Chains A and B, each alone.
Chain A
């Protein structure tokens, strides 16, 4: 229990740090923090009202306290471009990113773990080198460029897959948003054509993220596997006459499940980050595209709002992976 509380405290202080950083960015970096909030074309009265609301005449500590209070109550301010509350807009676009990141991670897990195991078992053979190189490319290639190449090859040249967007142009308005996940919502609507369309649009960006996830997961799986295959209990299992497949998938795998789980969680967090550039390339109306559109539109409050959400999720995932060890490892009980 005590360590759980300590973990909570750790997460809380890190989140506080994140908000401190975003606060500093919003107040200190732009030339005029008020204009950064209301935009260049605001009226005198709006500017004056904003100045009071931000508490710019108050000491810094008070300003930060006001900022904290607002954020914790879910008030991330208003977007300069649309005038709508940012938290509302973020909730609207977030499921799209969730859809991408989840499918991407699934791809990474389903393909990455077996590849990593295979490479470990066949260490130093050409299979091993192939898997490692395949993964290495994933660490070297810019995700936005690979996305463009994917569109070029599979959409423009081969015409196997549909282009950018979550559905063919114009159809997004038809779908009633229930969960916000296009595949699920079209299924709920019962429109099989739209569902297939949504699935088709999902393939390329999700595979892109899936590739990056696979690169990371296969590398970590290989490394973890190699660490286990050296251990003496593996020898014991072989001495007992346990078939090699079981030695790998029950004995060794059983011992890396917990670290692997944290790898998967971390990969999920990384994909949330990776979606920023992916969504931009695929015109995928999610959190990432929202952030980049806000950057182009010089809508700092929206940029920071999105940063807070992505940052918070990322931090929570990162820190929660600590808990997984403690809860799931029988030795720690």
Chain B
């Protein structure tokens, strides 16, 4: 598989103007990725979601970067027309909760068709949509096609969401906490679907999550973010050798089934983690 970089981010900064002053939500974040599964892990407020949105030009904050390029094309300062060429068609995003991220007054079918506007029309588009629904392992694509979002369970809705985002066959998919709103059993199914689709379509996947243990088995590489900065970057297989105390703290948090512990360790925050990273 071609591992040359498709996304190149250099010193990305996102700032927000709030009534209490300027908030520097993302600070000098740099990374590159190819057609692989990259995880961005962090807690709420770490800036991971905003990073994902900035790649699509959909963050309300002010974006500055030395470089923000997708397949050589810069994503900085694009106009609406240019963004329309990229969004959905080359980069797409799956969000956390289909209860909110699907339009309640449009059928699933209509929402899928909309994703392919300008690319496929009429009966061809419909066939394509049904095919996408089948590829996310929905057993009765016709029924889901005609359904309203509130008629679907969480897992089905999220799969429909994935199908929708892949309609225009993008090369990069950003998944912002795609399984956080799902039951644990459904979670694994959806992850398996994502894994399969990303592999067969040679896509890049950015998996944003707060759950380090979830991504270590699923993704190829991991970026750990804290307070807007990238603290550590590792291959998923090397997580045990993580050096930064924050990462080590995250790894130590969840209970383990195979050995006893008197007390669960609590993450001790060191204020020095907020300092600019060298």
Q: For the complex, what is the distance from the CA of A237 to the CA of B103, rounded to whole Å?
A: 8
Q: Does A238 contact B (CB under 8 A)?
A: yes
Q: Which residues of B contact A254 (CB under 8 A)?
A: 103, 105-106
Q: Does B194 contact A (CB under 8 A)?
A: no
Known A241-B86, A331-B150; judge A236-B95 contact (CB<8 A): yes
Known A236-B95, A240-B115; judge A330-B104 contact (CB<8 A): yes
Instruction: With CB as the reference atom, state the residue of chain A lying closest to B58.
Output: A238
Residues B86-132 near A (CB distance < 8 A): 86-89, 92-93, 95, 97, 100-106, 114-115, 117
Cβ contacts A255-284/B at 8 Å (1 or 0 each): 101000000000000000000000000000
B103, B117, B150: the one contacting A233 at CB < 8 Å is B103
Known A240-B164, A255-B105, A331-B148; judge A235-B95 contact (CB<8 A): yes
Most chain B C-beta atoms within 10 Å of own C-beta, residue among A236, A329, A330, A331 = A236
Known A232-B95, A330-B105, A330-B148; judge A239-B100 contact (CB<8 A): no
Cβ contacts A208-237/B at 8 Å (1 or 0 each): 000000000000000000000001110111
Q: Does B71 contact A (CB under 8 A)?
A: no
Q: Which residues of A contact B117 (CB under 8 A)?
A: 242
Q: For the complex, what is the distance from the CA of A238 to the CA of B89, rounded to whole Å?
A: 12
Q: Does B133 contact A (CB under 8 A)?
A: no
Q: Does B80 contact A (CB under 8 A)?
A: yes
Q: Does A243 contact B (CB under 8 A)?
A: yes
Residues A37-67 near B (CB distance < 8 A): none
Q: For the complex, what is the distance from the CA of A84 to the CA of B115, rounded to whole Å?
A: 66
Q: For the complex, what is the distance from the CA of A243 to the CA of B118, rounded to whole Å?
A: 12
A232 B101 Cβ-Cβ under 8 A: yes
Q: Does A251 contact B (CB under 8 A)?
A: yes
Q: Does A191 contact B (CB under 8 A)?
A: no
Q: Does A244 contact B (CB under 8 A)?
A: yes
- Nearest chain A CB to B165's CB is how many angstroms away? 7
A251 B88 Cβ-Cβ under 8 A: no
Q: For the complex, what is the distance from the CA of A241 to the CA of B89, rounded to whole Å?
A: 8
A239 B93 Cβ-Cβ under 8 A: yes
B103 A239 Cβ-Cβ under 8 A: no
Q: Which residues of A contact B105 (CB under 8 A)?
A: 254-255, 257, 329-330
B89, B101, B165: the one contacting A235 at CB < 8 Å is B101
A240 B150 Cβ-Cβ under 8 A: no
Main secondary structure of the interface of A (DSSP, over half): helix
Q: Which residues of A contact B251 (CB under 8 A)?
A: none
Q: Does B243 contact A (CB under 8 A)?
A: no
A232 B148 Cβ-Cβ under 8 A: no
B86, B89, B101: the one contacting A236 at CB < 8 Å is B101
A241 B95 Cβ-Cβ under 8 A: no
B80, B93, B103, B115: the one contacting A244 at CB < 8 Å is B80
Instruction: With CB as the reference atom, state the residue of chain B lying closest to A252.
Output: B103
B115 A255 Cβ-Cβ under 8 A: no
A232 B87 Cβ-Cβ under 8 A: no
B104 A240 Cβ-Cβ under 8 A: no
Q: Does B76 contact A (CB under 8 A)?
A: no
Instruction: Give the A-B contact count at a CB cut-off of 8 A.
Output: 70
Q: Does B84 contact A (CB under 8 A)?
A: yes
Known A331-B148, A331-B150; judge A240-B103 contact (CB<8 A): no
Number of interface residues of A (CB under 8 A): 20
B88 A240 Cβ-Cβ under 8 A: yes
Most chain A C-beta atoms within 10 Å of own C-beta, residue among B105, B115, B161 = B105
B103 A236 Cβ-Cβ under 8 A: yes
Q: For the complex, what is the distance from the CA of A330 to the CA of B103, rounded to whole Å?
A: 12
Q: Does B16 contact A (CB under 8 A)?
A: no
A231, A238, A329: the one contacting B87 at CB < 8 Å is A238
Q: For the complex, what is the distance from the CA of A239 to the CA of B161, rounded to whole Å?
A: 12
Instruction: With CB as the reference atom, state the residue of chain B lying closest to A329.
Output: B105
A236 B148 Cβ-Cβ under 8 A: no
Q: Does B56 contact A (CB under 8 A)?
A: yes
Q: Which residues of A contact B218 (CB under 8 A)?
A: none
Q: For the complex, what is the distance from the CA of A244 to the CA of B104, rounded to whole Å?
A: 18
B100, B114, B148: the one contacting A240 at CB < 8 Å is B114
A239 B56 Cβ-Cβ under 8 A: yes
- Nearest chain A CB to B92's CB is how many angstroms away? 6
A243, A255, A257, A329: the one contacting B103 at CB < 8 Å is A255
Q: Which residues of B contact A232 (CB under 8 A)?
A: 95, 97, 100-101
- Nearest chain B CB to A198's CB is how many angstroms away? 41
Q: For the complex, what is the distance from the CA of A329 to the CA of B114, rounded to whole Å?
A: 21
Cβ contacts B23-61/A at 8 Å (1 or 0 each): 000000000000000000000000000000000101000
- Nearest chain A CB to B175's CB is how many angstroms away? 12
B87 A236 Cβ-Cβ under 8 A: no
Known A239-B88, A239-B93, A239-B165; judge A255-B58 contact (CB<8 A): no
Q: For the complex, what is the distance from the CA of A233 to the CA of B148, rounded to whole Å?
A: 14
Instruction: With CB as the reference atom, state the residue of chain A lying closest to B150.
Output: A331
B101 A233 Cβ-Cβ under 8 A: yes
A240 B95 Cβ-Cβ under 8 A: no
Q: Which residues of A contact B104 (CB under 8 A)?
A: 233, 255, 330-331
Contacts from A to B (Cβ < 8 Å): 231-233, 235-244, 251, 254-255, 257, 329-331
11 chain-A/chain-B pairs, Cβ below 8 angstroms: A231-B100, A235-B58, A240-B87, A240-B114, A241-B87, A241-B89, A241-B168, A242-B117, A243-B84, A255-B104, A330-B105
10 extra interchain contacts, Cβ-Cβ under 8 A, other than A236-B95, A236-B103? A231-B100, A232-B97, A237-B103, A238-B87, A239-B87, A241-B115, A242-B117, A254-B103, A255-B103, A330-B104
